Structure 1
Amino acid sequence: MSYEKVKQAAKLSIGTKQATKMVELGKAVEVFVARDADPRITNKVVNLCKKTGVTITYVDSMKQLGKACGIEVGAAIAAVVNE
């Protein structure tokens, strides 16, 4: 599944603010969005990705995305960043 990409990423931006910033700076390669995250939180990033052409990958849950990112808490959004 797509969690492998998250686990293997050299650099991640976890969380809505950080991911949004990376997309705006043109550094995000792919953005992972948890399906169970609040749309009010994720919509801004999703729309920004669509505008800028960044790939969006939906994953099952915030808990699994957080785990893939190596954190103890759930993550709504994580961006794979290209240095």
Structure 2
Amino acid sequence: MTTVDFVMARLVGQGLGIAMLPAAYVPQLTGVTTIEVTDAPTRVEYAIWSRTSPTPAATAFLATLGIPAAPGSE
């Protein structure tokens, strides 16, 4: 659980808010009520990078996704 998720869970536990966290965290949560969200809307995320001069970070991220960073590098 990340620090942010831990803080969110503590705030919820103190009655100071609500949170949507990944299902993987549910077993770690104590003292709070959890409700499984089903049939929720989906979202689409876009990544934009320079194909002529991608940064090392963009290249590494795209490699993780299995996407070539530059033309002709397939």
**TM-score over 0.5 for the alignment?**
no
Answer 1 or 2: higher relative contact order, Cα 8 Å, separation at least 6: 1
Larger radius of gyration: 2
TM-score by length of 1: 0.28
The TM-score, its normalising length taken from structure 2, stands at 0.30
